[in-house]
Amino acid sequence: MSTYGIDLGTTYSCIARLDSNGNPEVIRNNEDDSNTVASVVFFENENNVVVGQAAKENIETDGERVVQFVKRYIGKVDSRTYEFDGKTYTPVEISALILTRLKNLVEAQGGTVEDVVITVPAYFGLEERSATRQAGELAGLHVLSLINEPTAAALSYCARQFQEDRTILVYDLGGGTFDVTVVKMTMTQNDSGNDVQKITVLATGGDDRLGGFDWDDRLFNHILHVCCDENGLTPEEIEAETRQDIRSKVEEAKRKLSKKQSAKVRIDVNGSRTEITIKRAEFEQMTSDIVAKTMNFVDATLEKVPNVEIDTVLLVGGSTYMPMIINAVEAKFPGKVQQHDPDQAVAKGAAIYASMLVEEVDSLSEPGTEPSGETPARAEQLTSKFTVEDQTPRSFGPGVVDTNGAKHKYVLENFIKIGEKMPAVFTKTYYPLEDNQERVLLRAFENRSTDDTLIPCVDEEGNPQATDPAHNVKLLGELVVNLPPNTSRDTPIKVTFKVDASGVHVEAVNTKTNETFETFLRTDSDVDIERSAVHQLRISSD
Ligand code: ADP
Ligand code: MG
């Protein structure tokens, strides 16, 4: 089996597949003796780039050569780049290095990685999604699809125990981000009358700057201060090597405190050994405000769906191993909390989804063939058991000309609005602006507005700009629709936008000739738009 699910995390990444019995399993990272790989890259020199725990061990001593939290920058408009040994790396390229490391884990154990599903946060827009997909391709992976992280977690949970209708709150506390998602699982029947479990995202919330790292920081500062007090030093007098030593040990101590009531840390400060014992109760006290902060985000997210009753709370993310988190969530939702391999659930859900997709492709390409006795039929059973319904992360629509009124206005018509059920499809008929127009340049936009119509920012020539601060209007790309000679301005052109978790599919049909033009918009291709206002579609003004 060469189909894998990948959780490309802000701080840790994970790769999983289905085993021969159809159960999801994570590929061990034997080098770091872990189920995950730290999403950290160390550019030691031009010939050596290290990914994982070994990279992490250079953060304090060689920080300027270490890249971490790259997921925060992937696909962002004002994204940054990194430069090492005369080479420039984009967040996509750094992410590809992390993905390559995951691929290598499989290969080192004799496997091959071909088709993958990569997970993304539910709030990622199209550019972040495209960039993630591009990173996968750069790492030599065939990206079947992307899936939202909370949906993947819910999928791995319901693969464990088949559910009746219920509403699940996914509390995902990772290393650098905190995501709250309310998902609804419903039992419906498909066209063939089989039971199908549908997963619908109802609300999302959280903070992309809150995570396990905040707990590490508190512990780091605590240990640093004890080292100072015991040795009569100020924090500035503690050397970089000592800081690195503390940095390397806090995470380990934190993990120990999830299992035991106390943890010992030994630090060499200027040649003398300082031994510090941290009690779990003490650690919980110094971080109780951050726990409370996460619960406030839970409340804020629940306020978005006031009439919804939560049946189950699913704890996801490595930081939910901390008993203080389990206790806080349990106190708010008594008897409803579930936790199963929180640092692996997302990758496992992605693996389940990936195999569902491969089964679907196989059954489409070989109609009528039964799965052979050796092939685990589990994935195929899953295909008929799950459908995934997400929310659109942004609004999408074409830029067209409104000819009503004295002056022509270039407007954005929002076909599909942020928060709508996804996959989403919308079709509308437009007309060429003029008679004998040779072609139409159909522009597709993404934005955060819920208005039906927006007037995009336009430059002096009347052409739309790529960004608009108020509604975050972004030009995604352009579809060239060629028109035959003598096309009249009354020729209906049917425009369809289809949005799913992977991107936006735009189609235009000349209904006179039935000629179809289509494109899949992924913003990784540099949008190189001819700045001309003439070839447009118009809204029917009759
Ligand atoms: P990501 O943030 O990339 O989604 P994870 O969900 O794997 O990654 O979460 C990583 C965070 O979980 C890190 O801050 C890590 O220190 C923390 N973590 C992992 N295991 C434990 C544990 N046993 N106890 C406490 N924290 C843990
Ligand atoms: Mg995560």
Higher pLDDT, 522 or 451: 451
Q: Nearest bound ligand to CA 344?
A: 1
> What pLDDT sits at residue 333?
98
What is the third-level CATH fold of 395-538? Answer: Substrate Binding Domain Of DNAk; Chain A, domain 1 (2.60.34)
Three-state SS for 7-50 is: ECCCCEEEEEEECCCCCEEECCEHHHCECCEECCEEEEECCEEE
Cα 438 to averaged position of ligand 1 atoms, centre (Å): 57
Domain boundaries, the chain: 3-210+292-379, 212-286, 395-538
Which of 184, 179, 195, 103 lies closest to 143, judged by CA? 103
Cα 324 to averaged position of ligand 1 atoms, centre (Å): 14
Q: Which CATH superfamily is domain 212-286 in?
A: ATPase, substrate binding domain, subdomain 4 (3.90.640.10)
Cα 172 to averaged position of ligand 2 atoms, centre (Å): 7
Cα 43 to averaged position of ligand 1 atoms, centre (Å): 24
Each residue's pLDDT tens digit, 260-291? 999 999 999 988 899 999 999 999 999 999 99
> Could you tell me which residues are beta bridge partners of residue 13?
37
Ligand 1 mutation pick, 6, 11, 101, 284, max ligand atoms within 8 A of CB: 11
- The mean pLDDT of the chain is 87
The token pair at 358 is 């491969």
Question: What is the C-alpha separation between 129 and 502, in angstroms, rounded?
Answer: 7
- Ligand 1 atom closest to 9 (CA): 3
Q: Point out the least confidently predicted range of 16-30, 366-380, 433-447.
A: 366-380
Q: Please tell me the residue having the least CA distance from ligand 1 atom 12.
A: 318
- Ligand 1 atom closest to 316 (CA): 6
Strand 421-422 and strand 453-454: the pairing is unpaired
> What pLDDT sits at residue 99?
98
Q: Please tell me the residue having the least CA distance from ligand 1 atom 24.
A: 255
Each residue's pLDDT tens digit, 308-363? 999 999 999 999 999 999 999 999 999 999 999 999 999 999 999 898 888 765 65
Name the amino acid, one letter, at 243: R
Q: Is the dihedral of CA 131, 137, 139, 142 positive or negative?
A: positive
Residue 511: CA count within 13 A, CB half-sphere: 14
Question: What is the C-alpha separation between 449 and 394, in angstroms, rounded?
Answer: 8
227, 239 Cβ separation under 8 angstroms: no
Taking the model in full, what pTM does it have?
Answer: 0.80
Residue 86 above 80 pLDDT?
yes
Which residues contact ligand 1 via a Cβ below 6 A? 9-12, 36, 39, 174-177, 211-213, 251, 254-255, 258, 317-319, 321-322, 343
> Could you tell me which residues are beta bridge partners of residue 48?
45
> What pLDDT sits at residue 79?
74
Ligand 1 mutation pick, 216, 254, 339, max ligand atoms within 8 A of CB: 254
What is the third-level CATH fold of 3-210+292-379? Answer: Nucleotidyltransferase; domain 5 (3.30.420)
Higher pLDDT, 136 or 406: 136
Cα 47 to averaged position of ligand 1 atoms, centre (Å): 30
One fold for 3-210+292-379 and 212-286: no
Q: Nearest bound ligand to CA 211?
A: 1
- Ligand 1 atom closest to 39 (CA): 3
Q: Nearest bound ligand to CA 36?
A: 1
> What pLDDT sits at residue 457?
65
Give whole-number Cα distances, 454 to 196, 373, 398, 411, 449, in Å: 38, 56, 10, 6, 8
Helix axes 149-160, 345-365, angle to 10 degrees: 80
Cα 210 to averaged position of ligand 2 atoms, centre (Å): 12
Residue 369 above 50 pLDDT?
no
Residue 300 above 90 pLDDT?
yes
Residue 14 above 50 pLDDT?
yes
Cα 318 to averaged position of ligand 1 atoms, centre (Å): 3
Ligand 1 mutation pick, 250, 343, 346, 348, max ligand atoms within 8 A of CB: 343
